[in-house]
Structure 1
Amino acid sequence: MDRPRRPGSDRRYAPVAARGGKRKRSSSSDLWEDVCSICDDGGDVLCCEGRCLRSFHATEGQSTKLNRCKTLRLTEEQWKIFKNNDGKNGPKYICKNCKYNQHQCFSCGLLGSSDLSSGVEVFQCEDQYCGHFYHAKCLARLLYPDRSTQPLNFEQEIARGLKFRCPVHKCHVCKGAENKDDKKMQFAVCRRCPTVYHRKCLPSDITFKGDKDNGTMKRAWDNVLPGQILIYCMKHEIAPKKGTPKRNHIVFPDSKNLLLRAPSKARRQEDTPTVQDIPKEEMPPDHDSPEPSQPPPQPATETDKDLPNGFNSFAPKDLFPLPYPGSCGWLDD
């Protein structure tokens, strides 16, 4: 079934190079993001047909020298398979997060199971235009920072299927909703964490123009996201050469470790090569792949005991000593 069309998604720009972009998808719907989820730049991007609604630069040739996106590392031949796809008979691109039902919590950045049939650890926002997932505990901390106002058993209700709209759908300051018809009430959306402001509520230190004299970095771009402002909030340090925070925020699951946990029948099915398996699992040792191999899950530590069953991620906790919203710390920049 085709997804609905995202309002205003006919405008596609690049926050770094301010150049026009286009997307290639496998259906006629228009719900996906207009910029690459790795580098936040526009251009010719490939859309995942899974639940995450993300888009990616597919090959190294689609990244400018200025942008230097790590991309999906598809070959030109692999890219052509999708580029020539009419969306009906051709293959669909499914990212590894959606393929293996292992999605990142948009608050803490850790991977968790999103398998609705069993063992759900991260839950997706009910908004049809939102591809963000959250641990129930992380969501409770975001929606109810003052624990005294948190509804009783909120986390358990989420685990039992309670529908929710995540924090990216209300202003961080005034808690109001978005009104795209009123410019002042349009959203400024952080690309690294669930922090959103109305244009009129945007803090003064999140600027549209950088100032080298006082060391102020540009943190906001207009006309990048359809009807919204793209920002990096003050939680994220800007890398001067790229003009964005370090691009270490995307974590793909290690399919090999996942297969070790799968039943033998499922393992044999996964061993059958499909188009959805690209980019290739095996990369040359000196190739800088955006899909790192993850070590086997580590035994729970004392700090894990306060988490409900199923909240341990495949991403080891020692890689995230000081988690904060939007921090994932996996891909070396």
Structure 2
Amino acid sequence: MVLTRRAARAARSSITRLPVELLDIIIRDLSFEQTAAMCQTSRLFNDLATPILYQSRTSGASLVPHIRHFGLPRADTLYIPKLVADITASLLPLTNLRTLDLATADEVSFITLLRTAQFPHLTRFDTAVQSETSEAVYDFLQRHHRNLQHLAILHAEPVEIRSPIHLPHLRGLYTTDLMLSHLNLEEAPLVELHIYNIDAEPARLHPVSIDPSTARRVRNVTLLCRYISVDIFDDVAKNFPLIDTLEVQAMRLLSLILFSDEIIRIGTHLERFTELSTLNLDISAANRLSNEGDATILEWHGACKTLSSVTFGRKTWLREKDKWSAVCEDV
């Protein structure tokens, strides 16, 4: 019997009114393939069927070919050697893995995994690297470099890499500017670049080792710094003159304040950008923006005519038909 659309909707509506306990019994009677299909019918059945699917042992069915993403929890977790070994053993068979996130709040060493794992379809990799694991990370990247499209390499100390790692398909990168010298991005269609600065001094962007033709393809740049130097805007303009989005964030509260002369200097640096449309500064201003925010935005727009959105001093301004207006205020 073929149901009409109205009848099919009514049937679905009727079954969802059954008690959860009864639905659980029904789903447990399904085959592995039927349970997998049930997960795709609705949020309710996905929530009910997924745990049962992972418990399924019928006909030797395995979920290994279906697992695409794995990430370690960001919350504090005690990664004792036994847990690291168990995670490694679980990950090694996942040959269809697309994304792997090994970056945690604490530095955890997955040397065995980095040295031996082979994920032919891996497109995204996040990791924390230490001096003792840098060689293993290098080997891992060398095995997976041809498919990687997004890469995050976090480190709190200088690391040594044997030779530049070729990443021909990389579109998004999160790392320190010093790490850039270890990456060969000449062919990369790099679009998004997130750079964080670990120095105690006010941040300056070191001369980056990115081919000029690659740098001209970058459209979005985010900087995360311990302390902000206004001159960093000039550094970005020199290296990435054609970006359309720039975001600057500070990691320390005391580094979030700019004074009037510094605000004016930002305007002089903005003159060097030719396509910048969105400017997001996670920085507060001392005195001036409380009463003169609109005037400041007009000054910046005068320096960079392509600006259409500015977030600064806990406010956001948007430009429509050459008129600027504050559209929201953070609380």
What's the TM-score once normalised by structure 1's chain length? 0.21
Higher Cα radius of gyration: 2
Larger strand percent: 2
| TM-score, reference length from structure 2 | 0.21
Q: Which has the higher contact order (CA 8 A, sep 6+)?
A: 1
Compare the two structures and name the one with the higher helix fraction: 2
